[in-house]
Amino acid sequence: MQKVEILNGNKAAAIGAAMSRPGVVAAYPITPQTPVVEYFSEFAANGEVDAAISEVESELTAMSVVTGASLAGSRTFTATASQGLALMYEPYFRASTLRLPIVMAIVNREMISPQSVWGGQQDSMSVRDAGWLQMYAEDNQEILDMIIQAFKIAEDKRVLLPINICYDGFYLSHMTERVLIPEQEKVDAFLGSYKPEHIILDPEKPMAVDPLTNGVLVMEYRNKHLKAQQNALTVLDEVDKEYGRLFGREYGGAVEEYRMEDAEYALVTTGSMSGAAKDAVDMQREKGIKAGLVRMRMIRPFPKDRVCKALSRVKSFGVVDRNVSFGWDTGIVYQEVKAALYDGDNKVPSVPIIGGLGGEDISVGMMMDSIDRVVKAAAEGKNSECIWLMNEEEAK
Amino acid sequence: MKYKSKHIVPIGTEGIHVLNTGDWRIQRPLIDQEKCIKCGICLLHCPVNSIKKTDGKFIITYDYCKGCGICAHECPKKAIILLPEEEK
Closest chain A CA to residue B12:
A208
Q: Tell me whether A208 touches chain B (CB under 8 Å).
A: yes
Please tell me the predicted confidence (pLDDT) of residue B59: 96
User: Domain for residue B66, yes or no?
Assistant: yes
A210 has a pLDDT exceeding 90: no
A345 has a pLDDT exceeding 60: yes
The confidence band for A206, taking pLDDT boundaries of 50, 70 and 90, is confident
Encode pLDDT of A230-252 as tens digits.
999 999 999 999 999 999 999 99
User: Domain for residue B7, yes or no?
Assistant: no
A190 closest CA partner among A160, A145, A137, A253: A145
Please report residues of A whose CB lies closer than 8 A to that of B48: none
* B56 in Cβ contact with B38 (< 8 Å): yes
The confidence band for A396, taking pLDDT boundaries of 50, 70 and 90, is low
User: Domain for residue B10, yes or no?
Assistant: no
Percentage of chain A lying above the pLDDT 70 cut? 99
Query: With an 8 Å Cβ cutoff, are B9 and A220 in contact?
Result: no
Please tell me the predicted confidence (pLDDT) of residue A218: 94
Domain A3-247: which topology? Rossmann fold (3.40.50)
Encode pLDDT of A50-66 as tens digits.
999 999 999 999 999 99
User: CB-CB: which of B8, B13, B16 is closest to A221?
Assistant: B8
User: Domain for residue B8, yes or no?
Assistant: no
Q: Tell me whether A98 touches chain B (CB under 8 Å).
A: yes
Please tell me the predicted confidence (pLDDT) of residue B16: 53
The confidence band for A310, taking pLDDT boundaries of 50, 70 and 90, is very high
Encode pLDDT of A270-292 as tens digits.
999 999 999 999 999 999 999 99
Distance from CA of A206 to the nearest CA of B (A): 8
Q: Tell me whether A217 touches chain B (CB under 8 Å).
A: yes
Domain A255-395: which topology? Rossmann fold (3.40.50)
Segment A19-45 shows an average pLDDT of 97
A395 has a pLDDT exceeding 70: no
Question: Which amino acid, A115?
Answer: Q
Please tell me the predicted confidence (pLDDT) of residue B13: 56
List the pLDDT tens digit at each of the 88 positions of chain B.
999 888 999 887 555 555 678 889 999 999 999 999 999 999 999 999 999 999 999 999 998 899 999 999 999 999 999 999 986 5
Peptide bond into A114 cis (omega under 30): yes
Length of chain B measured in residues: 88
User: Domain for residue B4, yes or no?
Assistant: no
Hey, how many other C-beta atoms are within 10 angstroms of the C-beta on A262? 8
- Sorted by where each begins, the domain ranges of chain A are 3-247, 255-395
Q: Tell me whether B14 touches chain A (CB under 8 Å).
A: yes
Query: With an 8 Å Cβ cutoff, are B11 and A221 in contact?
Result: no
Encode pLDDT of B33-56 as tens digits.
999 999 999 999 999 999 999 999
CATH code at position B60? 3.30.70.20
Please tell me the predicted confidence (pLDDT) of residue B62: 92
Query: With an 8 Å Cβ cutoff, are B18 and A217 in contact?
Result: yes
Encode pLDDT of A175-200 as tens digits.
999 999 999 999 999 999 999 999 99
* A19 in Cβ contact with A187 (< 8 Å): yes
Q: Tell me whether B23 touches chain A (CB under 8 Å).
A: no
Number of domains in chain B: 1
Encode pLDDT of A104-157 as tens digits.
999 999 999 999 999 999 999 999 999 999 999 999 999 999 999 999 999 999
Helix ranges, chain A (H): 9-19, 34-45, 59-71, 82-87, 89-97, 122-126, 140-155, 184-191, 215-247, 274-286, 304-310, 332-341, 364-380, 392-395
User: Domain for residue B55, yes or no?
Assistant: yes
Q: Tell me whether A152 touches chain B (CB under 8 Å).
A: no
The predicted complex's ipTM stands at: 0.82
Structural domain for B66, as ranges: 18-83
